[in-house]
Amino acid sequence: MKLIAVLFALVASTCDLLAAQPSPKPNIVFILADDLGYGDLGCYGAKDIHTPRLDRLAREGVRFTQFYSNGPECSPTRTAFLTGRYQQRVGGLECAIGIGGVGRYDDAARLAAQHQLGLPATELTLSRLLHDAGYATAITGKWHLGYEEQFAPSRHGFDHAFYALGGGMDYFHHVEDPPDYAPVLRINGKPVKRPGYATDLFADEAVRWLREHTTRDAKRPFFLYVPFTAPHSPFQAPDEEQPAPLPADSERWKQSKAPPRVYAAMIERMDNAIGKLLDTLDELGAAKNTLVIFASDNGGTASARPCGLRGIKGTTFEGGIRVPCFARWPGILPVGVERAEPALTFDLTTSIARAAGVTPPRPFDGVDVLGAIARSEPLPSRPLFWRGRRGERTWRAVREGTLKYVSQANGLRVEEFFFDLALDSGEQKNLLTERANDTVRLKQTLAAWEADVRPQR
């Protein structure tokens, strides 16, 4: 009987000890740059932009060399990341939402007239899944998935949200493009005024939230989404504060008009801000159990550094959709590894959900690329698709293996391209005639995908 009593005491003691331990589920930090070009970081070849913290993060994990954003603009990619599916399935979000909630192509304009242009709260999102699985959730940065309260981050499972409503925002005065100059900084859905440079404010709030969360509920894992506005226009270096917002006629609002040194300073300040966030994870003892991912929402603008890729933001050439991406997960992902297989933003969604032990009630379109890398397996091979719309123009693309078909339709005029990226990563030689059979096959594959992702609203 004494032995049984001792055993019971040991079991009870062990249970108490396990209950006191932090959750084995990993913390997750997803950092997203805005309009960062493929060649805008040191670890991707930039010579005049110094990004030591991001370069180190890339060295400490896995760096992708053929990673793609789901869309050639920001709102589409953000939609795909949060839903884990092609953004076309939602409807109205194949283009960046215009200032104040304007729809920039027919379907988006229709939804805007119905006050439905944004990411509906009925959509299943990664943030909601993680929240319901016990994660503390926060966003500090750019939202751009709907201006109305019904689309706010709080409707998608974020416990805490400090964010810019839309696209370009004056970095010091936190208003959108002229002539509106509408204040767009929010905290948990309410307008807020805070002095400071936007990049610093988003990082400081992320750090503050992390410290508060650790003090309040250290056992609970966290999901922190940090979508910076840098280096999106308006182009303002951190030492360029003025008494009033940039005037309407300033060239700094134009995405292709960044002074090279200002553009570099914006990225370098983002690198510094990310360094603060990474240092905080170390100080709090959380880094060892935290998956940190960095990516860009689309390719660079004409202000980005040359990288040898054709096209810019808004196109489905490589320069419009190929982006920097790397991930660090101590003890799980290999260190100092490069992977050249193609992957998409929503693959990160699937990877995060699997890492957190969350199974979505409906399938994601992405695949668990980080899990495959952790197991030293090749990434699954599948065709990848893009479609972006703005006004009368529609860009499409499909990549299968090293082959890629691209089309640009503007009204009734259509231009078509076919490339073998293994031989021509810069997409300079159009093989449309030489590879006629492959062109027909990829066009049929693209058409079948478009039918499959047709939205329901």
pLDDT, tens digit, for every residue of 225-257?
999 999 999 999 999 999 999 999 999 999 999
436 with 444: CB under 8 angstroms?
no
Q: Per-residue pLDDT for 7 more than 60?
A: no
pLDDT of the residue at 218: 85
First-last CA distance in the chain: 68
Q: How many CB atoms lie within 10 A of CB 120?
A: 18
Q: Which residue in 381, 261, 395, 260 sits closest to 320, CA to CA? A: 395
Question: Which pLDDT value is given to residue 167?
Answer: 86
Q: Mean pLDDT, the chain, as a whole number?
A: 94
**CATH of 25-382 among 3.40.720.10, 3.10.20.30, 3.30.200.20, 3.40.50.10320:** 3.40.720.10
The strand pairing partners of 68, in sequence order, are 322, 344
For the segment 397-416, the average pLDDT, to the nearest whole number, is 97
Q: What is the pLDDT of residue 3?
A: 42
For residue 348, give every residue at least 6 positions away whose Cβ sits within 8 Å of its Cβ, in sequence order, or none: 30, 81, 293, 295, 325, 327, 366, 369, 370
Residue 402 bridge partners (DSSP): none
Q: How many angstroms separate the Cα of 355 from the Cα of each of 27, 78, 83, 289, 373?
A: 9, 20, 16, 11, 13
Q: Using alpha carbons, list the distances in angstroms from residue 247 to 37, 62, 176, 335.
A: 26, 42, 11, 47
Q: What would the pLDDT profile of 378-394 be if each residue is shown by its tens digit?
A: 999 999 999 999 999 99
Q: Annotated active-site positions, please?
A: 74, 144
In this prediction, what percent of the chain has a pLDDT beyond 70?
95
pLDDT mean over 346-364: 97
